[in-house]
Amino acid sequence: MDRPPLLRRAAARLPLDPYIAALLATVLLATLLPAHGRGATAAEHASTGAIALLFFLYGARLPTREALDGLRHWRLHLTVLLCTFAVFPLLGLAARPLVPYVLTPELYTGLLFLCLVPSTVQSSIAYTSIARGNVAAAICAGSLSSLVGILLTPLLAAVLLGGSTGGIGPGPLLSVALRLLVPFLAGQLLRRWIGGFLLRHGRVLGYADRGSILVVVYGAFSAGVVGGVWHEVTPGRLLALLAVEAALLATMLTLTSRGTRRLGFDREDRIAITFAGSKKSLSGGLPMATVLFGAHAGLAALPLMLFHQLQLMAGAVLAKHYGQTAHVPGVRHQPTGSPGERRVELGDRP
């Protein structure tokens, strides 16, 4: 029996992104049916292969020349990079007094790691488009953040998280180079020959992206369940983590929107900076967490997964508000459809 129209409309407006639902289902599967013994070894190898494929596709799709050409708008891109790799980490460090009263040490490690990962690409572009901002700047800013994050995120993690759970030393950094950077560079080198093919089959490869992330998530959370690291994650702690992340997101949205006004950026550039500077990449951060934290990757990735859903909901509301208040004569790009309907063949998937 078909659902009444009212229920159909309500379901269509649910804030939960379908991909987030798939991620949560994968976490539930890993919790109920974690991999043991040979299964755990197979899951680890599958996760390693999925990470290599993911970053190879990133490298093959990422328009490096466009990102570098966009540096002519250096003030905008420098602002986004500072928000992503300086302001976010400082706010993460400022949350340290919340341990152990609000957050467990493990959840705080994940929160701080969340503050170190690069910005998204697709979500930033989609919301900038809906808000009638500078879409070209959002593309360049997201691409540049992804490039910088490949190197800078592991280095920041080594400095700021070296004494945390699953301490990060030369070994994990070498693993990042072998498992993330090498496939990424291989994709960049082959982009000249396979870039057209990837553009023509972007939708199919998008499923490959998402499938790879699901494999990584299952492996990480399965290892966490087997290792017994979930006993410290109570519902109360999760609610506290959500509250802290909501405050973090609200702070970044306020700083990027009001701070860019004081810096003299025009409206369209402010919109691009607000979305690119306040978001974090789920697809870029999850593989890094798996490599850097090993068996503790599940807990380390949990704050990033929750923050991703928060930023999608807040971004949708904010982009709609900006779009409705925009002056039509100043529009650079008229968006069509929702973020899920428009696909950009590079970077992060929502």
Distance of CA 37 to the CA centre of its chain: 31
What is the Cα gyration radius of the chain?
A: 20
Residue 349 lies in a domain: no
Cβ neighbours around 133 below 10 Å, total: 31
Residue 350 lies in a domain: no
> Can you give the CATH number for the domain in which 210 is found?
1.20.1530.20
Are 126 and 344 a contacting pair, CB within 8 Å? yes
What pLDDT is stored for residue 79 in this prediction? 95
Query: Could you tell me the residue range of the domain that residue 112 belongs to?
Result: 18-326
Are 134 and 332 a contacting pair, CB within 8 Å? yes
Residue 1 lies in a domain: no
Angstrom distance (rounded) from CA 271 to CA 341? 21
Q: Is the pTM of this model over 0.75?
A: yes
Q: Is the peptide bond before 235 cis (omega within 30 degrees of 0)?
A: no
DSSP per-residue string spanning 148-209: HHHHHHHHHHHHHSTTSTT---HHHHHHHIIIIIHHHHHHHHHHHHHHHHHHHTHHHHHHHH
Give the chain's mean pLDDT. Answer: 79
Distance of CA 19 to the CA centre of its chain: 13
What pLDDT is stored for residue 174 in this prediction? 67
Count up the domains in the chain and report the number: 1
Residue ranges in the chain modelled with pLDDT below 70:
1-17, 63-71, 162-177, 227-232, 295, 326-350
Residue 49 lies in a domain: yes
What pLDDT is stored for residue 182 in this prediction? 84
Residue 148 lies in a domain: yes
What pLDDT is stored for residue 336 in this prediction? 38
Torsion of CA 148, 151, 156, 157, to 10 degrees: 130
Residue 123 lies in a domain: yes
Residue 4 lies in a domain: no
What pLDDT is stored for residue 96 in this prediction? 95
